[in-house]
Structure 1
């Protein structure tokens, strides 16, 4: 009888400890909705796009402003790269160069990937806020969406907070934005909580005639070439919401680290947006990683 009572108490303690551990993990990590509205910063007097206006869009994976002097542990297929974080001096230098390139290129819209905010590896700094302070005041409209966020990650190469986001900056008014959650990688339930939760960020820019220009910003997984779910999810949204509505011009850009060979409907191309606007791409080579061109569904 005593043995039974001891086993019962032990089982209850283990169950309670497991529940407490999972609750702690849940509280430490990021759990976005499948579809959620993001906070937009856009002044009331921000200019509106004009019908037929030509737009220049720059898309850039800035790799948390690290620069070109590193091979990080997560940059290799086996996750055994030698570096864990950039130096503060390299971050400052890279951020200054990013702001210089943006000023020189003078794009109308800037789409950034791998912007850190609150991460231990970049001194818990909001890199977008620092970049905006170095840009001309006309880049006053912006929105961001996190796709990696946790108060603490127990990975031996991290052991601290993480925060990484997509950021869209515009000279023109942004009226509405939404974060669309993409399919999560098939990890175990614990690993999944601490891993990236990739998404695409939808930003809607109003035109003076009442129409809208839609920009999608995303960053896909570099080491998932045979996982078509994120592409198919975004492609389905694109076709149902944008592509077949000729009155809604749109551009779909970002860091396309992996395009599944299974998604045969996806064909990369630079495209002109129908009727309301025309788009040119400034595809900077100053980023250490390759930036792909506009994508469109057929």
Structure 2
């Protein structure tokens, strides 16, 4: 499962936790995760170590990766897993244009019950397509060095036909068709696909 929390603006920790428990995923990749921030627009998440509390609520192991300091705390990525983490790493993505928000990739190796190791990863790419292309290339370089299966999820801010997906992620297998709905909206539009889950 991959999900952009939108910094907890729309749902409480308990509501998100219940959603995760109902879906019962083995792993969850989260974006826009706040830790100890104080946003006026997100009182449900303010002052909380959100990923740790969400992990406790869902009875899953949790990992946090800071992208930027924000509003007295941090803003970044999270991973949840039913299986223990063997190692984790936060990797900063290239900043190819001054003044843009720092983006990152959070990876975690988990050990399955049979002893097999897999890597799970969460990312949230830039809003500008040329920057996303550079970031996707870098993610491919980094994850190309991993010698076990990888599950990559995130908010790519991109549509299926965009080069960063159609070309940049061509070697990856998609977990859903191009016309899958990934953004809740009053008027569903299948051409807007931001949240992706890939495996190799």
Q: TM-score range by the shorter chain?
A: 0.7 to 0.9
The SS at the match of 2:144 is helix
Say yes or no: does 1:105 pair with 2:23.
Answer: yes
Say yes or no: does 1:261 pair with 2:181.
Answer: no
Superposition map of 1:206-225 within 5 A: 206-207=111-112, 210-221=115-126, 223-225=127-129
Q: 2:9 aligns with which of 39, 49, 66?
A: 66
Q: TM-score by structure 1 length?
A: 0.53
Superposition map of 1:261-280 within 5 A: 261=163, 264-267=167-170, 269-270=173-174
Q: 2:78 aligns with which of 167, 181, 203?
A: 167
Superposition map of 1:1-298 within 5 A: 58-67=1-10, 93-121=11-39, 122=42, 123-135=46-58, 137=59, 139=60, 141-150=61-70, 160-187=71-98, 191=99, 196-207=101-112, 210-221=115-126, 223-227=127-131, 228-242=133-147, 248-258=148-158, 261=163, 264-267=167-170, 269-270=173-174, 291-295=194-198
Q: Tell me the matched-pair count.
A: 180
Q: TM-score by structure 2 length?
A: 0.75
Q: CA deviation at 1:181?
A: 1.4
Q: CA deviation at 1:231?
A: 0.7
Q: CA deviation at 1:162?
A: 4.9
Give the aligned CA root-mean-square deviation in angstroms.
2.9
Greater RCO between the two (CA within 8 Å, min separation 6)?
A: 1
Q: Which residue of 1 aligns with 2:189?
A: none
Q: Which has the higher helix share?
A: 1
Separation (CA, whole Å) in 2 of partners of 1:115 and 1:161:
14
Q: Which residue of 2 aligns with 1:12?
A: none
Q: Which has the larger radius of gyration?
A: 1
Q: CA deviation at 1:225?
A: 1.0
Unpaired segments of 5 or more residues in structure 2?
176-180, 187-191
Q: Deviations over 1:184-225 (max 9, x none)?
A: 1411xxx4xxx532111111012455541111111111x211
Q: CA deviation at 1:98?
A: 1.1
Unpaired segments of 5 or more residues in structure 1?
1-57, 68-92, 151-159, 243-247, 272-282
Q: Which has the higher strand share?
A: 2
Separation (CA, whole Å) in 1 of partners of 2:93 and 2:37:
22
Are the counterparts in 1 of residues 149 and 199 from structure 2 also a CA contact under 8 Å? no
Are the counterparts in 2 of residues 116 and 164 from structure 1 also a CA contact under 8 Å? yes
The SS at the match of 1:120 is coil
